[in-house]
Structure 1
Amino acid sequence: MGARSPATAVVERWRDWLVALIVVLAFGALPGTRLVLVLFQDTTVEPAPLDVPDAERPGVAVVRVIDAESRPLAGATVRALYVHEGTVYLAARAVTAAEGTARLERLPIGAHWFVAEAIGRARASTQRFVGADPLSIELRLGAERPLAVDVRDELGRPIVGAEIEVRGVDPLPRGSKTGKDGVARATGIGAGPLSVTARAPGFDTVTINVPASDVRAKIVLRKLGALTVAVVDRDGHAVDGATITIAGGLLAVPRGTTSDKGGAARIAGLASGSYDLRATKGALVSPIEIGVAIGRGGDAAVRLVLGPGRWVRARTVDDDGRVIAKADVVLAEGGLSPFPFQGVTDAKGEVTLGPIAPGPAAIGAQSEGFVPRGPLSVTADDPMVIVLRRAATLVGDVRDARGVPIDGATIEVVGIDLDGLPIAARPISLGFRAALLARAQGAGRTLLPVGELGVVPGPVPPIPRGPIALAKAPDGADPWVTRADGTFRAHPVPPGRVRAIVRHPAYVEGLSAVVGVQPGGEAKVSVVLAAGGRIIGRVKDEKGFSVGGAYVEIAARAGTAARGVRTASDGAFVLAAVPGEVSLTLSPPDRPRDVALRVDVDVPEGGTKEIELVLPAPRPATRVRVLDDRRYPIKGAQVTVSSLDPQAPVKVTAFTDDKGQAEIPRVGGLKAQVEVQASGFALYRVTHSSLPEIVDVELTQGITVRGVLYAPGGRVTVAAATVSLLGEGGVRRTLTNAQGKFELRDVPRGDAVVEVRAPGTAGARRAIVVAMTGSRPELELDRIELGAAGIVEGVVLDEKGKPVSGARVAKDRAPTYVPAGGALPGAAITDATGAFKLVDVATGDVEIEAFAADVGRGRVEKVRVDEGRTTTGVKIVLHAIGASSGEGLSPGGVAVTLAESEGRVMVAAVAPGSEAERAGVLEGDEIVSVDGVPATSIAAARARLSGPLGADVILIVRRKAGDRSVRVPREATKR
């Protein structure tokens, strides 16, 4: 957009006359903190003006302001606020004339807030979409709600000069400051719940919620805390001159200080939180002390013991073994350390980092022109060799539906790399790695001797006013943003099968076709962005009154677009550049994280969808009473109530008290599943079509399932094998002991399946019935003998005979969707040459299948596998399966593989460790419906299974015992 920094614009505007202004830059680049300004007096804090050319601001709005009796109000201030990529800008300001009207001109095309205020009256607001045609708006100002905020310390003394921020429905907060009595008075406040934040130098920042009817609030601020550190050697002797480094809490980067002659240091001015510390002196280092908790105004002590450290020598090379000089290398203890070590490789490609304490560590490297690598577990090799793969480049052009180039669109590259791992590359992720290097270089900055730690002394800034760049792309990298001619260049990109996701605030996100790109290579794509549609809506309560401050959020059903907005004081909201199919959620003003309503909305391309949402009245609570089979109450049982109504996605967990009771708020009358767990008892799970006021639950004693595993041939037992039991209660896992024995406790009665995996074997799978043995709550399984196994090696090719990297290969069925960060037991991944090595394959004539997203699926039948031998030369050709170009790009999904059988959609496989497995989805389930929509085909089912993260899906699955509802949380998946 070319807008100036909002903070800079405000400073320029006020600096000539505002001398009593505190400007605080706090916490560097912490997410969510920005440079802001707060006025001392009770006033509206106005955002920075919008800085775009007049040619892009054709909009006009005439706003009429009236009082509660519909009389025109002269002298009222009306502001038009434009929201661009989460930042609020002042588009126009005007004062009403005698007839109560104000004309606001030079408005950009897009969604705006219109806010009116007048002395002695409550502020009013609405949201409208501004186009080329003039708008006519009416705002009614009622009686104001004066708010007095009393700010005191923990001893009850008033705090003078504390800054207060009051947030209501609209984006304009009110700023005020406490007087000698410790009270700040904010005027012009309207009805509805408020968020009030208080800040003062030397105190923790506190935010409270104020109910809709309250006119007075009290906030207690506590002094910042302190930490006393003692540094000693292994013999307990004090160590002076040791460098003490601290991180965590609200510190943006690690900070350092030095121990005195007594080995002590006192670190003051710490906000409440959890901190990590380490001490070093020469070659001596202490283990990192993780999670030292400091409460508000608290004082904690920690002892750091120095011991001999170890050094790690690393060498960076490319795929051909050539040395890479000037590579950045980071070493982190425990894999993710608050105190990483950083260095640059020399002419030999080597660098030595440390000292680190004994224990596991991870190392990573990056160099210009290469794909960053890591974290890798540090080995005993000296030097440890880190191989960097040369990066690829993706170029392209972006246009609208008329063929006009689009300037300023951002690019993200996604796909599968040559190792079969997911790619999600953008400059911010590259900049994050660079920021980690900078963090390592900047670790140990000197602490302020007193007062606030690592920040400029003063209060924390209160309101977002403009963006802060968290990180930028490494030097030499082009910004991944389209130029004026619509072209872009994305580099460095991991080689593999990739596509571009293109985003622009005025358009619906678009994606390119999939292209293959090799190390050091370049590929080109073209993307057309659609304008999308608009949603213009209003939120009312069950009595028909407008609801201001409600939170409305949309998330694309296909793709990653997601954003939200609060309703204005008249209940109105506007969302522009909306995709064709979205999931819309509604939350009440006082509980923005609790979704009260969820609906699917279809939006016409280039058109407007008008919608009226009714915020449901709060439901009554349900009391769950948990007893054992002797009717005694069970304390500490975990009770989870999950709604099975797709439009009311409520999920609440509570624990029973001494009377065995748990109160579950706002779930009465819902169709829901009640799940109860308690140690020593079997999992209880039941579905209610309408939750009553009281639910009685009787837990039964769980069954202990035992067994012994034997290697192929049945002569020796197998230790450290993974045993999984899948049944109505979800999945349970354990490992066999040294004697090959396993035990699973608190297993519910019913049908179940035992699956076993052990390296060097084909594993085993057995169906069982969990029941008591006589009067004993235990089940002893017959011996389980694992199957003999061999190895299959081969290559995966596409229809043109080219090797396919990153394809999944498995016996019988290659999984389609798996958790993004999960392992793939029983599967292999092809390398850059398309080659694979599949181990632990059952002996005999087997089928081997391969799958690669956006390439296809293929299989080879009757592959002969002999025990202990390797079958080579297997060639699998992938054939296109007609998946849509956008399939698999939703942020969330369900990690199951689907198949069709006689017109039914069946679960062919459930990914181990997935949310679907934990929810109780089983292989062989028939999917009847997803979120109430019939599953008529795999494509129809998958379209409903995929969607935004954080939104669960409700499945109806059919089994021999009948249909049942299963609620499955969506998770990040890879296809």
Structure 2
Amino acid sequence: MGGLSGGGFLLRAQMQGFVDASLAGLEAGGEEVLLTLAPGGAIAGTVTDGDGKPVTSFRVNSSREGDSGTPNPMDWERFAAGMMGTPFEDPAGRFRLEGLEPGNWKVEVTADALAPAEAAGIAVAAGEETEVALVLPEGLVLRGVVVRRSDGTAVPGATVRLPAEGFLGEFDMGFDGSAFEDIEDEVDGAAEGMNAMSGFSRTTVRTGADGRFEIRGLEEGKVRLMASFKGLAPQTVRGISVPAAEELRIELSEEAAIEGTVTDASGAPKAGAMVMIQRVPMLMRMATTDASGRYRIGGVGAGPYLFYVMEGDLAGMAGGAGLNMKSEPVTLEEGKTVRKDHRLGEGIRVTGRVTRGGEPVGSVMVMMLPASGGGPMGMMAGGGGFAMGSTKEDGTFLITGVNPGRYTISVQTNFGGGPGGGDPLEVPKGSTEIRHDIRLPENAIRGVVLDESGEPVSGAVVRAVQEGKAITHVSDIGGAIEAMGGQAFTGEDGRFEIGEMKPGTYRVEVQAQGFPTKGVEGVAAVENGPEVRVVLSKGEEVRVRVLDADGAPVSGAALFLSDAEGRELTNLVQFDAVRTGEDGRASLRAPPGTLRFEA
């Protein structure tokens, strides 16, 4: 495979009937890579409904019993399959999964209007096929109506979505991945990635002429629903009981909107610029300016957002053409359209060149984050901002529109890794352009993450933090990036590599689904250093209840956990903190020691 540069590559080999083999954290130009394919087993089955009739359209989700962790979120194909399962269309209700690693497997099947079913303890042997049969019961029905909050009138044609379990089910970009198919040839996996990030649905229905809807095939318990309609603000309702005692009523408010004109540095209209607003971390909306430089984004709720304008595009970045983007806070109001014009290039220009070993590094992202104030929670509320740009083939970059102040400037060499090794950068008042070259170091921390039984933990987030510094959820983002030496995900073999690190000693922190955060002190970043072995234990289950001042339960409260030194222990591997249910209760896993909880 030629034409590659940099590191952080994931390489996977696949062949029918064999277990996939993969290696993560690979560097271009390195030694020859060996991937060994081992024969796999297969599971074949039939899916029927309660009357014995074949279910012709369904999804199958499979997992090997005893495996730890989740697929790497940057490996879109596997991550999406892990979230939603593999789709099957067959008139006889047949499916076949092959290339499975020997062991005991669990299979879950879901289909529209039917309750899910699963089979566990399925023995899989290399070169052999195991037959299973699954019956999907009718399940329970949830009925509801969508109305306008302003006058109570019905909303026909509204979309009502039952999101997948987990945080990403509620991620809302307002479109599907087809909007990105035009850049698929230029950016591998872009369509799959954007489709994943636009939210996973278990079931989607539309309201009838009277605004009513039905969702079938539910199990007893609690569910959440997301409702939306053009011209109205989307609404998420959590903690809905199934079966429900009465018809569910979902009220949609009038939309908030933003519009304006984007111009270039000379004041001429800029066509084709991408404008985006984001409420971190749940919602994102995009628009492209027309020939007159105008844009409009609607269909969102009132509140604070981050406002972005992007000059260039992802395909251009992949081709080495460069990309520039800046963010700033904006507040939208219900039923109103906020005017927001933007002039590209306005402000101070930051230029430079990124090199590794004296050679230019192209198509990587250079980020500038404020070195004080804001922080992750501030960004979630719409405060704070940042600027970013990508390098061209010769390693040069240009970031425009930068305000005076103190920043941390860093390089993200692979999607989902880093950024690490941030440099402090002062942008003085009165300046028009400053230059800052970045030389990527060649030190690394390599290791493997295992559970207590010695099995590898895949999909774990591993980050290195400079010794003596702590990152908390209330840290300013610039300071956090400066303290962080880098980040990586573990592969299927549990191994990771954090490359291009500044020399020094770090605390390695590991987070994986179902485990508390584990820290390893005194790990040195060097060339060709020894492998770090991290063993994750289940820790202790801690039950928490959150009440308001009147003693009533608070649902949806985010729970944060830190140790006695103030170091963050909150497990954010699912991109969100643990949140309380309708009764104000939640449970999370914690390591032994003196801990601090915050709601």
Where on the TM-score scale, by shorter chain, does this alignment land: which range?
0.5 to 0.7
1:523 is aligned with what amino acid?
V
Where do 1:356-375 residues align within 5 Å?
Answer: 356-375=218-237
* Cα distance per residue 1:81-103 (max 9 Å; x no partner): xxxxxxxxxxxxxxxxxxxxxxx
Counterpart of 1:528 (choices 326, 334, 343) is 343
**Aligned equivalents of 1:552 and 1:369: distance in 2?**
38
Residues 1:169 and 2:36 are matched in the alignment: no
| Cα separation, partners in 2 of 1:404 and 1:670, compared to 1, 3 Å | same
- CA positional deviation for 1:317: 0.7
Partner of 2:156: 325
Structure 2 residue matching 1:555: 3-state secondary structure: strand
**Aligned equivalents of 2:261 and 2:369: distance in 1?**
25
- CA positional deviation for 1:404: 2.8
Residues 1:490 and 2:297 are matched in the alignment: yes
Where do 1:753-792 residues align within 5 Å?
Answer: 759=547
Q: Of the two, which has the highest radius of gyration?
A: 1
**Aligned equivalents of 2:302 and 2:212: distance in 1?**
25
**Aligned equivalents of 1:225 and 1:732: distance in 2?**
36
- CA positional deviation for 1:352: 2.0
- CA positional deviation for 1:412: 2.0
**Aligned equivalents of 2:59 and 2:218: distance in 1?**
16
Structure 2 residue matching 1:502: 3-state secondary structure: strand
| Cα separation, partners in 2 of 1:606 and 1:307, compared to 1, 3 Å | same
Residues 1:554 and 2:366 are matched in the alignment: yes
- CA positional deviation for 1:312: 1.7
Structure 2 residue matching 1:239: 3-state secondary structure: coil
Partner of 1:600: 424
**Aligned equivalents of 1:169 and 1:652: distance in 2?**
18
* Cα distance per residue 1:707-742 (max 9 Å; x no partner): xxxxxxxxxxxxxxxxxxxxxxxx998449xxxxxx
Q: Is the 8 A contact 2:443 2:503 kept in 1?
A: no
**Aligned equivalents of 1:200 and 1:573: distance in 2?**
37
- CA positional deviation for 1:557: 0.8
Q: Is the 8 A contact 1:276 1:291 kept in 2?
A: no
2:276 is aligned with what amino acid?
E
**Aligned equivalents of 1:298 and 1:584: distance in 2?**
54
Q: Is the 8 A contact 1:554 1:584 kept in 2?
A: yes
Q: Is the 8 A contact 1:333 1:360 kept in 2?
A: no
| Cα separation, partners in 2 of 1:296 and 1:484, compared to 1, 3 Å | farther
| Cα separation, partners in 2 of 1:533 and 1:368, compared to 1, 3 Å | same
Structure 1 residue matching 2:504: 3-state secondary structure: coil
**Aligned equivalents of 1:422 and 1:602: distance in 2?**
29
**Aligned equivalents of 1:511 and 1:667: distance in 2?**
27
* Cα distance per residue 1:65-114 (max 9 Å; x no partner): xxxxxxxxxxxxxxxxxxxxxxxxxxxxxxxxxxxxxxxxxxxxxxxxxx
- CA positional deviation for 1:309: 1.5
1:615 is aligned with what amino acid?
P
- CA positional deviation for 1:790: 8.4
- CA positional deviation for 1:395: 1.9
Partner of 2:178: none
**Aligned equivalents of 2:135 and 2:363: distance in 1?**
50
Q: Is the 8 A contact 1:311 1:356 kept in 2?
A: yes
Partner of 1:245: 58
Partner of 1:345: 207
Residues 1:426 and 2:426 are matched in the alignment: no
1:670 is aligned with what amino acid?
G
2:334 is aligned with what amino acid?
Q
Q: Is the 8 A contact 2:57 2:90 kept in 1?
A: yes
Q: Is the 8 A contact 1:333 1:361 kept in 2?
A: no
Q: Is the 8 A contact 2:143 2:215 kept in 1?
A: yes
**Aligned equivalents of 1:374 and 1:346: distance in 2?**
19
Partner of 2:94: 265
Q: Is the 8 A contact 1:369 1:492 kept in 2?
A: yes
RMSD: 6.0
Q: Is the 8 A contact 2:508 2:523 kept in 1?
A: no
Q: Is the 8 A contact 2:444 2:525 kept in 1?
A: no
Structure 1 residue matching 2:270: 3-state secondary structure: coil
Residues 1:611 and 2:440 are matched in the alignment: no
Where do 1:596-675 residues align within 5 Å?
Answer: 597-602=421-426, 607=433, 609=435, 611=437, 613=439, 615-616=441-442, 642-644=465-467, 646=482, 649=485, 670-673=504-507
**Aligned equivalents of 1:790 and 1:538: distance in 2?**
55
Residues 1:311 and 2:136 are matched in the alignment: no
Q: Is the 8 A contact 1:318 1:389 kept in 2?
A: yes
* Cα distance per residue 1:259-290 (max 9 Å; x no partner): 85xxx734256798999643669x86443679
Structure 2 residue matching 1:914: 3-state secondary structure: strand
* Cα distance per residue 1:370-401 (max 9 Å; x no partner): 12222534331432111111213322222345
Partner of 1:914: 560
Q: Is the 8 A contact 1:168 1:193 kept in 2?
A: no
Partner of 2:309: 502
- CA positional deviation for 1:318: 0.8
| Cα separation, partners in 2 of 1:299 and 1:642, compared to 1, 3 Å | farther
| Cα separation, partners in 2 of 1:316 and 1:759, compared to 1, 3 Å | same
Q: Is the 8 A contact 2:344 2:400 kept in 1?
A: no
Counterpart of 2:87 (choices 249, 255, 272) is 255
1:644 is aligned with what amino acid?
E
| Cα separation, partners in 2 of 1:403 and 1:193, compared to 1, 3 Å | closer
Counterpart of 2:272 (choices 408, 420, 423) is 408
| Cα separation, partners in 2 of 1:556 and 1:381, compared to 1, 3 Å | farther
Q: Is the 8 A contact 1:275 1:293 kept in 2?
A: no
Where do 1:133-212 residues align within 5 Å?
Answer: 165-169=1-5, 209=26, 212=29
Higher relative contact order (CA 8 A, sep 6+): 2
- CA positional deviation for 1:195: 8.1
2:557 is aligned with what amino acid?
A
- CA positional deviation for 1:597: 3.6
Gaps of 5+ in 2: 62-77, 170-198, 313-321, 371-384, 448-453, 469-481, 491-497, 512-516, 531-538, 568-574, 576-598
- CA positional deviation for 1:426: 0.8
Partner of 1:823: 557
**Aligned equivalents of 2:85 and 2:489: distance in 1?**
36
Structure 2 residue matching 1:484: 3-state secondary structure: coil
- CA positional deviation for 1:230: 4.3
Where do 1:412-491 residues align within 5 Å?
Answer: 412-414=276-278, 424-427=283-286, 480-491=287-298
1:524 is aligned with what amino acid?
R
Q: Is the 8 A contact 2:146 2:207 kept in 1?
A: yes
Gaps of 5+ in 1: 1-164, 171-191, 416-420, 428-479, 623-634, 655-663, 678-682, 695-730, 737-756, 763-788, 792-820, 825-912, 923-949, 951-973
Q: Is the 8 A contact 2:158 2:229 kept in 1?
A: yes
**Aligned equivalents of 1:280 and 1:674: distance in 2?**
42
Partner of 1:472: none
Q: Is the 8 A contact 1:536 1:609 kept in 2?
A: yes
Structure 2 residue matching 1:360: 3-state secondary structure: strand
**Aligned equivalents of 2:340 and 2:201: distance in 1?**
41
- CA positional deviation for 1:166: 3.5
- CA positional deviation for 1:316: 0.9
- CA positional deviation for 1:494: 1.8
- CA positional deviation for 1:641: 7.3
2:560 is aligned with what amino acid?
S
Counterpart of 1:391 (choices 255, 261, 266) is 255
**Aligned equivalents of 2:27 and 2:284: distance in 1?**
42
Structure 2 residue matching 1:169: 3-state secondary structure: coil
**Aligned equivalents of 2:299 and 2:204: distance in 1?**
21
| Cα separation, partners in 2 of 1:352 and 1:565, compared to 1, 3 Å | same
* Cα distance per residue 1:315-342 (max 9 Å; x no partner): 1111121111222223457675977333
TM-score relative to the length of structure 2: 0.55
